[in-house]
């Protein structure tokens, strides 16, 4: 028998091994298809809602913007980019309102985003320490975030009311002006809007910061402490570099969400 020939027993073993490999490959493919099917089934309710309430309105809004959409017109003639050019050159009757909304959006973003980056970070630094009642402290700061916008609006509507609001009442007890129009005049309206927004949403950013802080190795802080670094230097040279990816994420999400919320309020 030559060296290249296989005995019947060896050939049978090779065939069995090849067959078992094909069987395992087929089983893996079947399991992979089953996992993909289960994933799509679990995602289906969300995808349906996303398509119906997000994608479809966006597409319909783009279609409207390219037509002269008027309920009094039997047809909606296509006008291309005339609506957009009218907003830019001021010929549209909605140009003034549009630019007013844009200014309000940018002002709200500029006022709220820095606060929503700094205050949650300070809260997360405190929550990352070990002290009695830490879990309660975390829950209290995150609790407002789970409230609906209607609940927050009604709650602060009564707290900030000029005549019967508790905020003006306690300001009066402290000897301060107790008739501040928090909801009806500027700049008090901006102070109310930004303050309530920060109170309502800082818990989300604080939780993200807290998770990132817990991922920073304690050995880095110990090494910095051994080298004589104080609290500020540990924060600057250990904490901030460790938070750099999270800071980028939080900044991006906060700008997008605040701009969107401001735009919806303005409109």
Terminal CA-to-CA distance of the chain, rounded, Å? 89
Asked if 168 and 180 touch (Cβ cutoff 8 Å), the reply is yes
- Closest Cα partner for 79 from 65, 89, 92? 65
| 241 plus 155 within the same structural domain | yes
Asked if 220 and 238 touch (Cβ cutoff 8 Å), the reply is yes
| 129 plus 236 within the same structural domain | yes
| 106 plus 219 within the same structural domain | yes
In tens digits, the chain (267 residues) has pLDDT values of 444 554 555 545 545 565 677 777 877 888 888 888 888 898 899 899 999 998 999 999 999 888 888 777 778 888 888 888 888 888 888 888 888 888 888 888 888 889 999 999 998 888 888 878 778 888 888 888 888 888 888 888 888 888 888 888 888 888 888 888 888 888 888 898 889 988 988 888 888 999 898 888 888 888 888 888 888 888 888 888 888 888 998 888 888 877 776 555 544
pLDDT at 267: 47
| 189 plus 221 within the same structural domain | yes
Q: What is the DSSP letter of 177?
A: -
Q: What is the DSSP letter of 147?
A: S
Determine, yes or no, domain membership for 8. no
For 238-252, write each residue's pLDDT tens digit: 888 888 888 998 888
Determine, yes or no, domain membership for 89. no
| 38 plus 132 within the same structural domain | no
β-partners of residue 78 are 67
As given in the structure block, the two tokens for residue 228 are 């004589």
| 154 plus 53 within the same structural domain | no
**Cα(28)–Cα(24) distance, integer angstroms:** 6
| 72 plus 157 within the same structural domain | no
Per-residue exposure over 183-209, b if at least 16 CB sit within 10 Å of its own CB, e if not: eeeeeeeeebbbbbbbebbbbbbbbbb
Beta carbons within 8 Å of 23's beta carbon, 6+ residues apart: none
Q: How many CB atoms lie within 10 A of CB 66?
A: 16
Asked if 206 and 124 touch (Cβ cutoff 8 Å), the reply is yes
**Cα(129)–Cα(236) distance, integer angstroms:** 17
Q: What is the DSSP letter of 258?
A: H
| 182 plus 230 within the same structural domain | yes
Q: How many CB atoms lie within 10 A of CB 143?
A: 10
| 75 plus 102 within the same structural domain | no
Burial class (CB in 10 A: 0-12, 13-18, 19+), 157: middle
The alpha carbon of residue 67 and the mean position of all alpha carbons in its chain are separated, in whole angstroms, by 33
Q: Which residue range(s) make up the domain with 176?
A: 97-266
């Amino acid at each position: 028998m030559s060296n290249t020939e296989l005995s019947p027993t060896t050939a049978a073993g090779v065939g069995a091994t090849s067959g078992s490999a094909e069987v395992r490959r087929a089983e893996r493919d079947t399991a992979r298809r089953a996992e993909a099917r289960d994933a799509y089934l679990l995602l289906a309710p969300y995808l349906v809602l996303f398509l119906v309430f997000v994608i479809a309105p966006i597409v319909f809004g783009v279609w409207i913007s390219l037509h002269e959409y008027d309920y009094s017109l039997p047809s909606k003639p296509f006008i291309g980019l005339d609506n957009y050019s009218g907003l830019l050159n001021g010929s549209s009757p909605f140009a003034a309102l549009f630019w007013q909304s844009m200014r309000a959006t940018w002002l709200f973003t500029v006022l709220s985003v820095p606060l929503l980056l700094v205050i949650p970070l300070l809260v997360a630094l405190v929550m990352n320490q070990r002290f009695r009642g830490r879990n309660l402290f975390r829950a209290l700061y995150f609790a407002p975030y789970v409230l609906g916008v209607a609940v927050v609006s009604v709650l602060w509507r009564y707290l900030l009311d000029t005549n019967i609001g508790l905020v003006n009442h306690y300001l009066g007890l402290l000897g301060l002006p107790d008739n501040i129009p928090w909801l009806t005049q500027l700049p008090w309206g901006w102070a109310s809007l930004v303050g309530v927004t920060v109170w309502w949403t800082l818990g989300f950013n604080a939780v993200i910061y807290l998770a990132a802080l817990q991922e920073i190795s304690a050995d880095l802080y110990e090494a910095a402490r051994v080298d004589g670094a104080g609290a500020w230097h540990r924060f600057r040279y250990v904490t901030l570099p460790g938070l750099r990816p999270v800071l980028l994420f939080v900044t991006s999400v906060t700008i997008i969400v605040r701009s969107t919320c401001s735009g919806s309020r303005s409109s």
